[in-house]
């Protein structure tokens, strides 16, 4: 119901209200369910993207990028054309009636074309192909609501091609990434193992082995999990990663979905084993936080807009008391910028009280107030978000203090 509420009925920390107040993004009728990112919002998006890429780079993932428009034949093969057609956007090429193009709703099938572009041997596995792909899904406009249900989705997606005997190890690695990422925000991830449904395809032997690999990986990591019996996908069991936000709402964000047949069989994916025989790998569809849009919406609401330092669009604001200190204030801002800090200089002709209030409303982690004393002594008066006035220190000491936080997450 919440999605249907008018803006003025939304709670204070609703991400749509915060998005507007903090000047992060907007939605417009000309593109229902697709956010227009403003410069400050894009800064959050970019930092998250950077973190996702850093995780991938450190953990042996290779980044790919596949086309947004693909012929419908791809989705006929995957089965989506039959079962999911109304949820996709597609059109006939105006100059070629025989060509129907689909705006991709997922990256999965296309990753197999990269995999299949060359012969793969057992030595190439696990092959971890990551893609931060822009996807479009035909959500009904009545169901759209801010960042939680969008038509345009950006996923932190990866497809890991593995030998069945490598699944357990690989899932353990995925769990490590998830643990590190979520705990970095202070979230406690909760794990659910979804098992073989009625509609399952594939052999019982494969399913048993697959479910065992997933539960073994969780057990080895000493992770407690619940079992959602018969709630797996028809093509394989999965681990779902949930978190509770500050309002006790449960979100399913990450997944490690095992695929025993859909991609491998439909797209004829194979590798040659030690004996030169052709074998079918399994595929792990993996997402750490899922959709960028939804995750940013959740973070905004969870932190009530006061994002962690590394994600804050403006990290430090420098506030002048009057114009006589402007030269020093410019110097301070320049030093901070040089140290890789996102800094904003507020030298408006307003009272310092008003400047502090307004910048605090913007949830900026640090405000540096510059008056005559500070300019003379080459110091800064620090106001920390949530703590208020924390005293006067020299600029170098402040730089040393915040540089510790700069890379706190990724
Ligand atoms: Zn996938």
Distance from Cα 108 to the centre of ligand 1, integer Å: 4
Distance from Cα 128 to the centre of ligand 1, integer Å: 12
Distance from Cα 318 to the centre of ligand 1, integer Å: 45
The upper half-sphere exposure of residue 12, i.e. CA atoms within 13 Å in the direction of its Cβ, equals 4
Distance from Cα 232 to the centre of ligand 1, integer Å: 14
Cα–Cα–Cα angle for 301, 3, 189, nearest 5°? 40
Q: What is the pLDDT of residue 159?
A: 98
Distance from Cα 401 to the centre of ligand 1, integer Å: 42
Considering only the C-alpha atoms of the chain, give the largest distance between any 2 of them, rounded to a whole number of Å: 79
- Cα–Cα distance, 14 to 306 (Å, whole number): 13
pLDDT at position 241 over 70: yes
Q: What is the pLDDT of residue 35?
A: 94
Q: How confident is the model at residue 8 (pLDDT cuts 50, 70, 90)?
A: low
Per-residue pLDDT reduced to its tens digit, 292-344: 999 999 999 999 999 999 999 999 999 999 999 999 999 999 999 999 999 99
Distance from Cα 154 to the centre of ligand 1, integer Å: 13
Distance from Cα 159 to the centre of ligand 1, integer Å: 6
Q: What is the pLDDT of residue 410?
A: 42
Range scoring the smallest mean pLDDT among 76-90, 156-170, 316-330 = 76-90
Q: What is the mean pLDDT of residues 198-220?
A: 94
The residue extents of the domains of the chain are 2-68+104-302, 309-406
Per-residue pLDDT reduced to its tens digit, 347-374: 999 999 999 999 999 999 999 999 999 9
Distance from Cα 196 to the centre of ligand 1, integer Å: 18
pLDDT at position 2 over 50: no
Distance from Cα 133 to the centre of ligand 1, integer Å: 11
Residue whose C-alpha is closest to residue 329's, from 314, 342, 317: 317
Q: How confident is the model at residue 407 (pLDDT cuts 50, 70, 90)?
A: low
Question: Which sign, positive or negative, has the C-alpha torsion 161, 167, 169, 174?
Answer: positive
Q: How confident is the model at residue 245 (pLDDT cuts 50, 70, 90)?
A: confident
The domain made up of 2-68+104-302 has a fold known as BirA Bifunctional Protein; domain 2 (3.30.930)
Q: What is the pLDDT of residue 340?
A: 94
Burial of 264 (0-12, 13-18, 19+ CB in 10 A): buried
Q: Report the 10 Å Cβ neighbour count for 402.
A: 17
Residue whose C-alpha is closest to residue 144's, from 294, 253, 303: 294
The continuous run of DSSP H or E covering 210 comes out as helix 204-220
Distance from Cα 86 to the centre of ligand 1, integer Å: 19
**Per CATH, domain 309-406 is 3.40.50.800:** yes
Distance from Cα 366 to the centre of ligand 1, integer Å: 40
Asked if 2-68+104-302 and 309-406 have one fold, the answer is no
Q: What is the pLDDT of residue 10?
A: 79
Distance from Cα 75 to the centre of ligand 1, integer Å: 13
Distance from Cα 138 to the centre of ligand 1, integer Å: 18
Q: How confident is the model at residue 6 (pLDDT cuts 50, 70, 90)?
A: low
DSSP string computed for 140-170: -GGG-BGGGB-SEEEEEEEEEEE-GGGHHHH
């Amino acid at each position: 119901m919440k999605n249907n509420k008018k803006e003025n009925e939304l709670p204070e920390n609703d991400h749509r209200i915060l998005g507007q107040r903090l000047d992060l993004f907007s939605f417009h009728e000309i593109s229902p369910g697709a956010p227009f990112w403003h410069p400050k919002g894009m800064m959050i998006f970019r930092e998250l993207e950077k973190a996702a890429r850093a995780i991938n780079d450190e953990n042996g993932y290779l980044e790919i990028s596949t086309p947004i428009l693909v012929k419908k034949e791809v989705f006929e093969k995957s089965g989506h054309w039959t079962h999911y057609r109304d949820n996709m956007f597609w059109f006939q090429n105006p100059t070629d009636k025989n060509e129907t193009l689909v705006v991709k709703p997922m990256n999965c099938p296309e990753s197999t074309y990269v995999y299949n572009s060359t012969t793969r041997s057992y030595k190439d596995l696990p092959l971890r192909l990551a893609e931060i792909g822009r996807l479009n899904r035909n959500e009904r406009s009545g169901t759209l609501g801010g960042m939680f249900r969008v038509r345009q989705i950006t996923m932190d997606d990866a497809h890991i091609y593995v030998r069945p005997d490598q699944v357990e190890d690989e899932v353990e690695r995925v769990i490590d990434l998830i643990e590190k990422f979520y705990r970095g925000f202070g979230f406690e991830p909760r794990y659910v193992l979804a098992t073989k449904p009625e509609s399952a395809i594939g052999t019982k032997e494969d399913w048993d082995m697959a479910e065992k690999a997933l539960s073994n990986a969780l057990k080895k990591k000493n992770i407690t999990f619940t079992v959602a019996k018969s709630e797996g996908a028809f093509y394989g069991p999965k681990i779902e990663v949930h978190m509770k936000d500050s309002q006790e709402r449960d979100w399913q964000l990450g997944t490690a979905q095992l695929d025993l047949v859909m991609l491998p069989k439909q797209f004829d994916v194979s590798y040659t084993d030690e004996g030169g025989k052709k074998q079918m790998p399994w595929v792990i569809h993996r997402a750490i936080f899922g959709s960028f849009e939804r995750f940013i919406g959740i973070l905004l609401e969870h932190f009530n807009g006061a994002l962690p330092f590394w994600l804050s669009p403006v990290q430090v604001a420098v506030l002048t008391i009057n114009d006589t200190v402007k030269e020093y204030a410019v110097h301070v801002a320049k030093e901070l910028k040089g140290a890789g800090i996102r800094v904003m200089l507020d030298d408006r002709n307003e009272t310092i009280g008003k400047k502090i209030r307004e910048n605090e409303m913007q949830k900026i982690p640090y405000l540096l107030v510059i008056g005559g004393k500070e300019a003379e002594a080459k110091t800064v008066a620090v106001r920390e978000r949530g703590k208020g006035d924390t005293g006067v220190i020299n600029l170098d000491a402040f730089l040393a203090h915040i540089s510790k936080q700069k890379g706190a997450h990724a």
